[in-house]
Amino acid sequence: MLLIKCLAGIAVGLMYTYYYPGGDTFVFHERAGELAVLARADIKAYLTFWVTSDQGIIDLGYTWSPNIFFIKIVSLFSLFTGHNYWLTSLYFSLISFSGLWHLALLLSRQWSQNLLAVLLALFCVPTVLFWSSGLTKESLTLALIASILFTFLNDFLDIKKITFLGFLKVFLLFVVLWQIRYYYAGLLIVVIFASWVTRYIKTILRKEHLAGLLSIFCFSCFILFFAVSFLHPNFCMSRILEVIVENHDAIIMRSRPRGMIIFSELQPDIVSITKNLPLAFFSAFFRPFIGENASLIYLIPGFEGLALMVLAPWSIFQKQVQPDGRLSILIIATIAYCIILGCFLALSAPNFGALVRYRIGFMPFLYLLVMVNNPWLKKQSERMFH
């Protein structure tokens, strides 16, 4: 699996070399090389730039701080790989694989009958495998999310209580994730803390039925969303709708009609957003359809969407997702995370190419949800691994 991950990372580089010349992966690499040259020439200036991002020290050609922060990280690898793109790509693939592998080991120990489902969801969804490999922000993003969830689940499932060092580690992981994809980090903070709060209140009130847990979780999320709004101005209710529409309009200007989601007069108000939510929800999980776009690059996401259409209803019909205790809270949290992030991404990034890439932040966990306890997969898992 590691070999496949590394090959996928190389494929990303080859795609941006021959199919999409001038992609951001090579721009990040070149800018990181410039920063590495600065480090060798003047380490003090390099460290100062790490702290201040002062464009007077070096101009990286970006004004958006997530890109600058990512370039800083890439520059560390550029220093000890001799500014070799392919070696740096392999390291990022390894980091992504490592984060997912530790999470997979934890999940497989807890639910050994679902080992095949875990491996398929985390490592074998083609678009997730591809876009979370190589020198991309998504590689690091998914590794960070998996590492955070690994520590959280160890504590939540009473496998290993979190220590001060563990808490410090998670805090640092959140800081890095916040710098690269603040909306992933913000939502993850909300659902993780809401899960802890729900579990704590459940213990006090002794509520086990799903409706009670769902009510507690939703109320906790509402309070936590309000708290998180103070961490970034774009999370404020008065601003977040404007951000969604601004991003939507900017991407629409650069996209072809056949390669995007067409919303109905999207405006930065709650009525317009609510009106377009059903289409955003459906598109986030199931589009592009097979044949919706003539480009072959959309064919694989089309088959993935078709697989979800089959797996999700079948999972519900077979009544395989039967929440109980802590597991019920995790299922609620996973559903909430996937739906909220999916709708947000579909509304703000209606281009299918961008959406397929960005949604790797939730797709592995959505597939995990619909694959776990699937009778056929459990039978195959027992046959293959026992």
**Inter-residue contact 208 to 202 (CB < 8 Å):** yes
Give which of 372, 363, 379, 374 is closest to 145, Cα–Cα.
Answer: 363
Residue-by-residue pLDDT tens, the chain, 386 positions: 889 999 999 999 999 888 877 678 999 999 999 999 999 999 999 999 998 888 888 888 887 788 999 999 999 999 999 999 999 999 999 999 999 999 999 999 888 888 999 999 999 999 999 999 999 999 999 999 999 999 999 999 888 888 888 899 999 999 999 999 999 999 999 999 999 999 888 888 776 677 788 888 999 999 998 888 888 888 887 789 999 999 999 888 887 767 789 998 889 889 999 999 999 999 999 998 887 776 767 889 999 999 999 888 777 765 444 445 788 899 999 999 999 999 999 999 999 989 999 999 999 999 999 998 888 888 888 888 76
325 falls within a domain: yes
In single-letter form, the type of residue at position 197 comes to V
pLDDT of residue 291: 77
276 falls within a domain: yes
Alpha carbon 41 to its chain's center = 36
- Give the chain's radius of gyration (CA, Å): 21
**Inter-residue contact 81 to 91 (CB < 8 Å):** yes
Output DSSP code: residue 17.
I
105 falls within a domain: no
- Write the pLDDT tens digit of every residue in 260-314: 899 988 898 899 999 999 999 999 999 988 877 767 678 899 999 999 998 887 7
22 falls within a domain: no
Task: Enumerate the β-bridge partners of residue 351.
Answer: 260
Axis-axis angle for helices 326-348, 210-228 (nearest 10): 50
Phi/psi of residue 203, each to 5°? -65, -40
Helix (H) or strand (E) holding 370: helix 363-371
Kindly give, in sequence order, each residue whose CB lies less than 8 Å from that of residue 221, ignoring residues fewer than 6 positions away: 190, 191, 194, 336
Length of the chain equals 386
Task: Enumerate the β-bridge partners of residue 260.
Answer: 351
Tokens 């009525």 locate to 271
146 falls within a domain: no
96 falls within a domain: no
C-alpha torsion sign, points 243, 249, 251, 254: negative
Task: For residue 376, count other CB atoms closer than 10 A to its CB.
Answer: 10
Burial profile 43-59: b = 16 or more Cβ within 10 angstroms, e = fewer? eeebeebbeebeeebbe
**Inter-residue contact 148 to 174 (CB < 8 Å):** yes
- Write the pLDDT tens digit of every residue in 201-213: 888 877 667 778 8
Rounded Cα–Cα distance for residues 141 and 360 (Å)? 9
Give which of 300, 368, 370 is closest to 145, Cα–Cα.
Answer: 368
282 falls within a domain: yes
Helix (H, G, I), strand (E, B) or coil at 293: coil
How many domains, the chain? 1
Rounded Cα–Cα distance for residues 135 and 70 (Å)? 10
Give which of 77, 76, 87 is closest to 43, Cα–Cα.
Answer: 76
**Inter-residue contact 118 to 107 (CB < 8 Å):** yes
Long-range contacts of 44-51, Cβ-Cβ distance < 8 Å, separation of 24 or more: none
Rounded Cα–Cα distance for residues 302 and 168 (Å)? 41
Residue 291 lies in domain: 232-386
Burial profile 343-359: b = 16 or more Cβ within 10 angstroms, e = fewer? bbbbbbbbbbbbbbbbb
**Inter-residue contact 29 to 78 (CB < 8 Å):** yes
Phi/psi of residue 260, each to 5°? -150, 170
The two three-digit tokens of residue 130, written as one number: 């591809």
264 falls within a domain: yes
